[in-house]
Amino acid sequence: MSQDPWLLTPGPLTTSMSVKQAMLHDWGSRDANFIAINARMRQRLVAMIGGEDAFACVPMQGSGTFAVEAMIGAFVPPAGKLLVLINGAYGKRIARICDYYKRATAILEWPEDQLVDPAWVAKALAADTAITHVAVVHCETTSGVLNPIAEVARVVAAAGRRLLIDAMSAFGAIALDAKDVSFDAVAASSNKCIEGVPGLGFILARVDALKQCQGNAPSLSLDLYDQWQALEKTGQYRFTPPIHCIVAFDQALTEHEQEGGVAGRGARYRNNCKVLVDGMRAMGFQPLLPDHVQAPIIVTFHMPADPRFDFQAFYDKLKDRGYVIYPGKLTVADSFRIGCIGRLDESHMRGALAAIRAVMAEMGVASGSPLRQAANAE
């Protein structure tokens, strides 16, 4: 089998051969082995946030957005009001979900290259007593910025409100401990830092809060409470589960543990990120974010100023050399992104840098700098 291109993207991403091989079987959804694997998966995810008896894992068929939607629909009651903290596309998506579900919202928005600011959250909560819940994105994958989740949780708890977290692109690589950070639910998915294949989202929810969610969901298939009850009572899903994805996810969780859990996984990604950023800076490229707010998940680079640089050609030529990068999603600047996550290590990052160097030379671009330098002026 020829080597697939390496995916330097925020997911789906490159997975190990053993994760792929775990899928080479057929199971019925009532198969006892599958039911045991599913139960083990749920326990392992709760353990990852130190949730023990206080939290339950409710898996949800579909991509990550399905899990976020299920979380919002269940936790924000029809009479509730959600304050959405937005500094990128995924925060905006949460507000859109509320529009569909006709849930009242308040919005606080920051530019995509800035952190959400807990002081503003505290002010907004003091000013609007109708707000019952706050939603925040841990790593905003739009830019790669790491939001100050612990500080946000502190002001939300101090104001007596409930926190819902979209930790999709951070979960499993950046620590989130339920004993240190107060929240009601966090949503993530199989195909990001745990390095499984796409097809399953999951919500880790505080059991006492989850118990109050009955009847809130405006959607049958995404009814988190109903899904939880069915799993607790029968060990089975209400509707066809993505069995192959779940069995592969269980293998990915084993490999995550073998690497040293969140700390080990995070260390490899931080090294990937450093090698990438140092190498790109050496070629003149400029990251959007200062290092201290950059999550080691995905890095946004400004588009080079050299008129000979053509992003589509750059993308295609890198793909031909075996590396898939990611277009930008920013509104504040023309940019592209390179991911640090997936079954990739320093050698892959160095390989990608060498490919970038070669493609730049082919295009006749001397520097990745976004500044129009005097030397480049005709």
Ligand X SMILES: *Cc1c(COP(=O)(O)O)cnc(C)c1O
368 binds ligand X (CB under 6 A): no
- The nearest distance, CB 33 to ligand X, in angstroms, is 27
- Of 39-47, 51-59, 122-130, 164-172, the window that binds ligand X (rule: CB under 6 A) is 164-172
Q: Indicate the residue among 83 and 355 with the shorter CB distance to ligand X.
A: 83
Considering only residues 9, 87, 143, 169, which one is a binding residue for ligand X as defined by CB under 6 A? Answer: 169
- The nearest distance, CB 117 to ligand X, in angstroms, is 19
Near ligand X in 114-133, by CB under 6 A: none
141 binds ligand X (CB under 6 A): yes
- The nearest distance, CB 242 to ligand X, in angstroms, is 13
Helices marked H in 211-345: 224-234, 243-258, 261-282, 311-320
x/- track of binding to ligand X for residues 80-99 (CB under 6 A): ----------x---------
State the Cα angle at 145 between 315 and 316, rounded to 5°: 5
Q: Indicate the residue among 66 and 237 with the shorter CB distance to ligand X.
A: 66
166 binds ligand X (CB under 6 A): yes
- Of 44-52, 59-67, 97-105, 118-126, the window that binds ligand X (rule: CB under 6 A) is 59-67
Considering only residues 9, 14, 61, 63, which one is a binding residue for ligand X as defined by CB under 6 A? Answer: 63
CA dist 202 and 224 (Å) reads 10
Task: Look up residue 179 and give its amino acid.
Answer: K
Structure tokens, 313: 């050609």
- The nearest distance, CB 89 to ligand X, in angstroms, is 8
- The nearest distance, CB 47 to ligand X, in angstroms, is 22
- Of 163-171, 218-226, 240-248, 352-360, the window that binds ligand X (rule: CB under 6 A) is 163-171
Considering only residues 11, 199, 242, 296, which one is a binding residue for ligand X as defined by CB under 6 A? Answer: 11
- How deeply is 233 buried, as exposed, middle or buried, from its count of CB atoms within 10 A (0-12, 13-18, 19+)? exposed
Contacts of 109 (CB under 8 A, 6+ apart): 86, 87, 91
| Partner residues linked to 46 by β-bridges | none
15 binds ligand X (CB under 6 A): no
- Of 50-58, 63-71, 218-226, 243-251, the window that binds ligand X (rule: CB under 6 A) is 63-71
Q: Indicate the residue among 22 and 197 with the shorter CB distance to ligand X.
A: 197
Strand 139-140 relative to strand 145-146: parallel, antiparallel, unpaired?
antiparallel
Considering only residues 6, 7, 8, 10, which one is a binding residue for ligand X as defined by CB under 6 A? Answer: 10
Q: Indicate the residue among 105 and 141 with the shorter CB distance to ligand X.
A: 141
CA dist 173 and 165 (Å) reads 15
Alpha-carbon Rg for the chain, nearest whole angstrom, is 21
172 binds ligand X (CB under 6 A): no
What do you get for the CA distance between the two ends of the chain, in Å?
Answer: 48
Considering only residues 189, 216, 300, 369, which one is a binding residue for ligand X as defined by CB under 6 A? Answer: 189
CA dist 371 and 353 (Å) reads 21
336, 301 Cβ separation under 8 angstroms:
yes
Near ligand X in 269-288, by CB under 6 A: none
Q: Shortest Cβ contact with ligand X: which residue? A: 64
Nearest in space to 74 (alpha carbons), one of 274, 287, 225:
225
Contacts of 311 (CB under 8 A, 6+ apart): 303, 327, 336
CA dist 250 and 240 (Å) reads 18
Nearest in space to 137 (alpha carbons), one of 198, 175, 94, 103:
94
CA dist 201 and 319 (Å) reads 28
* Contacting residues toward ligand X, per CB under 6 A: 10-11, 63-65, 68, 90, 137, 141, 166, 168-169, 189
